[in-house]
Amino acid sequence: MVIGIKSAAKLIGVSIISCCMILVCALFLNYNLDLAGIVGEITLEQTAVYDAMVSNSWVVILVSGGCMLATSVVMLLFYIKHYIDSHKKELGILKAMGYSNLKIASKFWVFGVSVLIGTSAGFGGAAALMPAFYRMQNQDHLLPEVLLHFHPSLILLLVVPAGLFALLSILYACFRLKMPVLWLLKDSWQSKVKIRKHKDKEEPEQPFLKGLKKQTLASRKILVFFILFASFCFSAMTQMSWSMNDLASPMMGVMIALIGLTLAFTTLFMAITTAVRGNTKTIALMQAFGYSKKECCKAILGGYRPLGYIGFAVGTAYQYGLLKLMVSVVFKDVEGVPEYGFDLPVMLVSLGCFIVAYELVIRCYSERMKRISIKEIMLEDS
């Protein structure tokens, strides 16, 4: 079995998130290493500023880098599971022919390479941005000038370990393939359903559209995480970028906004695309039975809308708490740092932009649903 370029190309979202992760980590780790070189030059009065700069860098690395690392892993494993679910019959035939799970899973190294591509691109982007980043950090002259040096050790620390994701892909694929051949050859995957033993009374039957919306959310729980993460990134990064004009610099604000919007739209498009593709048969049958485009969109995608607003609210609280912590704790002994408070107008502008962007994406996909025909589905099954 050869995994085609088209299948691997779907992992561009993993590459983008990995790129953003390494971009942020490489910038601040490189700066921290060079910052350590001026320890002998700082005065007693500058000690508080130095400690705050070091602490700030580590907070950004651990919070942003850790969050994006977890998201990259979850997204990678999701795509492997989705590929296996979509190619059950082919994989079942290979197992019936005598191929072992490990032999088949070894081809999934391609999925892990997407992380290596993203980390390499992120490190290259960080190298290109470092001169401007250092100028920005040095512009207030609170510390002796920090000179830019290239640290090859960061390649070994940040880029080379990304190759381990290829091994992770193989191991996870091998785990997912541990099931009887007949299960793979069946048209629908047999799943274990937990049945409550003590059920006093049966639940009333729900209307079809309401039940379908609930079933769509329950069948793909990982997409719930992606929708929450997308709205979280949009909310937190757009509001935080505006505050950076006062707390740091316009360049930092632009960088945070670009990374946040990239993560948000990459994750959102991936989640909604997967939701639509996973329900093409349902959508085609609904349209054949006379359901409108609006009803199809509401049943398949409508359940994700409240999650988007929940993610936005969590992102708002997160960015406020993080910036408040930075100003009140990390930079409390540094003179000239302005007070930080919750900015309601910025939050409302960000919310308005989020609503417009989210609804436009949903509308685009509702138009795409309209082009799904029952004829195409029947030809695929024949």
Report pLDDT digits (tens) over 155-175.
Answer: 988 888 888 888 998 999 999
What percent of the chain has a predicted confidence (pLDDT) above 90?
Answer: 14
The pLDDT of residue 340 is above 90: no
Residue 205: per-residue pLDDT: 54
pLDDT at 195 over 50: no
* 186 has a pLDDT exceeding 50: yes
Could you tell me if residue 141 is left (phi over 0), alpha (psi between -120 and 50 degrees) or otherwise beta?
left
pLDDT for 357 equals 92
- Asked whether the beta carbons of 81 and 174 are under 8 A apart, the reply is no
Residue 187 is classified by DSSP as S
Residues 112, 167 contacting (CB under 8 angstroms): yes
Confidence at residue 74, expressed as pLDDT on a 0 to 100 scale: 85
Please say if the pLDDT value at position 123 is more than 90. yes
- Crossing angle of helices 250-277 and 293-301, in 10° steps, is 110
The per-residue pLDDT for 271 is: 85
Q: What is the pLDDT of residue 245?
A: 66
- Band the pLDDT of 124: cuts 50, 70, 90: very high
Q: What is the pLDDT of residue 279?
A: 81
| C-alpha to C-alpha distance for 299 and 319, rounded to whole angstroms | 32
Which residue, 107, 155, 153, 141, is CA-closest to 8?
Answer: 107
Is 372 a residue whose pLDDT tops 60?
yes
192 pLDDT tier (thresholds 50, 70, 90): very low
pLDDT of residue 316: 93
CA geometry: angle 179, 183, 188, nearest 5 deg: 130
Percent of the chain's residues with pLDDT above 70: 86
Sign of the CA dihedral with 240 first, then 245, 249, and 251 last: positive
Q: Which pLDDT does position 248 carry in this prediction?
A: 63
Q: Which candidate, 319, 112, 139, places its Cα nearest to that of 231?
A: 319
- pLDDT of 197 reads 44
Separation of alpha carbons 129 and 258, rounded Å:
14
**Two tokens, residue 382:** 């024949």
Classify residue 98 as left (phi > 0), alpha (psi -120 to 50) or beta.
left
Q: Is the pLDDT of residue 312 over 90?
A: yes
**Per-residue confidence at 290, pLDDT binned at 50, 70, 90?**
confident
